[in-house]
Amino acid sequence: MKMVTVLGARPQFIKACMLSRLLQDDDNINEIIVHTGQHYDKNMSDVFFTQLQLPAPDYNLGAGSGSHGKQTAAMMVHLEEVINTEKPDLVLVYGDTNSTLAGSLAASKLHVPVAHVEAGLRSFNKRMPEEINRVVTDHLSTILFAPSQAAVDHLAREGISDGVYQTGDIMYDAVLHYKEKAFHQSDILERLQLEAKDYYLATVHRAENTDEPNRLKNIVKAFQQLDKKVVFPLHPRTKRALEKGNEGTNSNILFIEPLNYLDMLVMESQAKTIFTDSGGIQKEAYMLRTPCITLRKETEWAETVREKWNTLLDPADLSEWRKAVADVNIPHSYPPLFGDGNAAGQIYRIVNNLPFAMS
Ligand code: UD1
């Protein structure tokens, strides 16, 4: 079995590490790793390959940044070449980024079956590029690895039930695998002079929050009024937007560079509360039992809201801000929303047992 795995953005490196380890150890599987180059800064890409011991990509397509059309098209042109050269039996994609979409489009047009890890997620907001990417990818995929029952149900509602496997969430595997190591190796709390549970952690990178100056201004203003230090690792897009608006220099916000995975796990688990618009960080907050406030109107991870570990807060309307922060507490119940931490093992077994030539 020869397969091409398409990666490109930071969360995909984290998702891939646990599965690639199993695939690369199997002599009967030849996994070719393709990095689209969507994320290219050292601290957005290389550091994850090193820290998570991901094999170096066989191809780096260098697609870089650009409008959605330009970026996705650049990836597709090169992916088509790679697929034509390698002639894989399967193309595996993760999540909902433009790299995911480019991989699934290029492969399916060349009649190569697509396997989608993290299938079936829905925010029901088509203004998000990620929603478009995931809906299209799911409809092009032959094998769909759904992290939760809700994801399986979403697919069923769209008429997709063949080839769907509920495996649990592969990010949970990574959290369980790396948590102890993070506590042993990371000195991030000392470096930033922070006490456990005495700071907030914030990440903001969604276009809907960064590309609307007033919204970002509101968020920063609200952070400035919080009762504890807010540590805010800046995604490059957010950094640029903040520089344009000359935001927040003299405050209790500590702007820092993007964090590596182990430092991030420690920062997430020791924060009093996490503020984020990231999908992955909402999940990691739950996995590490830290309450989360999501700076969006809706979420793909509705289970975490239902279980009261996560609260939605619309950044356009921050009148609810104080109340939301004051209302945060740690729920007693903690159901296993993301499986048993062995999603990679399940996916590996399923991939390994696929009939060689699939239609
Ligand atoms: C992408 C994904 C998003 C995911 C996120 C994780 C899409 C549509 N979005 O968003 O779903 O949650 O990755 O981080 O695929 N940039 C750099 N250096 C880098 C990477 C990006 O400077 O290494 C800058 C570029 O100028 C770019 C901007 O950040 O214009 C946005 O990057 P892009 O990859 O387009 O999307 P993300 O916002 O990272």
Residue 124 lies in a domain: yes
Tell me: do 138 and 280 sit in the same domain.
no
CA 10 to ligand 1 centroid distance, Å: 9
Tell me: do 110 and 235 sit in the same domain.
no
Tell me: do 127 and 183 sit in the same domain.
no
pLDDT recorded at residue 249 = 57
Q: 235: domain CATH number?
A: 3.40.50.2000
Tell me: do 136 and 256 sit in the same domain.
no
Whether the pLDDT of residue 43 is over 80: the answer is yes
* Amino acid in position 105: L
| Residue of 205, 209, 300 to test ligand 1 pocket, by largest number of atoms within 8 Å of CB | 205
Residue 69 near residue 93 (C-beta atoms within 8 A): no
Whether the pLDDT of residue 79 is over 60: the answer is yes
Give the model's confidence band at 320: pLDDT under 50 very low, under 70 low, under 90 confident, else very high. confident
Rounded to an integer, the average pLDDT of 143-158 is 97
Whether the pLDDT of residue 178 is over 70: the answer is yes
Tell me: do 267 and 310 sit in the same domain.
yes
CA 139 to ligand 1 centroid distance, Å: 24
Rounded to an integer, the average pLDDT of 38-51 is 98
45-77 pLDDT per residue, tens: 999 999 999 999 999 999 999 999 999 999 999
235 is catalytic: no
Tell me: do 82 and 153 sit in the same domain.
yes
pLDDT recorded at residue 356 = 65
Tell me: do 195 and 154 sit in the same domain.
no
pLDDT recorded at residue 248 = 53
Whether the pLDDT of residue 247 is over 60: the answer is no
pLDDT recorded at residue 185 = 97
Question: Quick one: DSSP state of residue 44?
Answer: G
Measure the CA–CA gap between 186 and 356, rounded to whole angstroms: 43
Q: Whole-model pTM? A: 0.96
Q: What is the tally of structural domains in the chain?
A: 2
221 lines ligand 1 (CB under 6 A): no
CA 97 to ligand 1 centroid distance, Å: 9
Rounded to an integer, the average pLDDT of 129-145 is 98
Q: Whose CA is nearest to atom 18 of ligand 1?
A: 41
Residue 134 lies in a domain: yes
Tell me: do 116 and 24 sit in the same domain.
yes
Tell me: do 165 and 203 sit in the same domain.
no
Tell me: do 250 and 234 sit in the same domain.
yes
Residue 25 lies in a domain: yes
Q: Regarding beta strands 30-35 and 229-233, do their DSSP bridges make them parallel or antiparallel, or are they unpaired?
A: unpaired
258 lines ligand 1 (CB under 6 A): no
Tell me: do 312 and 207 sit in the same domain.
yes
Residues 6+ apart with CB under 8 A from 127: 208
Residue 250 lies in a domain: yes
Q: Which of 35, 116, 154, 205 is labelled catalytic?
A: 205
For residue 90, list its beta bridge partners.
3
Residue 253 lies in a domain: yes
> Which domain range does residue 59 map to?
2-169+340-353
Residue 358 lies in a domain: no
Number of DSSP helices (H) and strands (E) in the chain, helices first: 16, 13
Q: Whose CA is nearest to atom 22 of ligand 1?
A: 236
134 lines ligand 1 (CB under 6 A): no
Residue 333 lies in a domain: no
Residue 101 lies in a domain: yes
Nearest atom of ligand 1 to the alpha carbon of 278: 12
CA 353 to ligand 1 centroid distance, Å: 35
Tell me: do 275 and 191 sit in the same domain.
yes
Give the model's confidence band at 358: pLDDT under 50 very low, under 70 low, under 90 confident, else very high. low
Measure the CA–CA gap between 284 and 116, rounded to whole angstroms: 20
Share of the chain above pLDDT 90, in %: 89
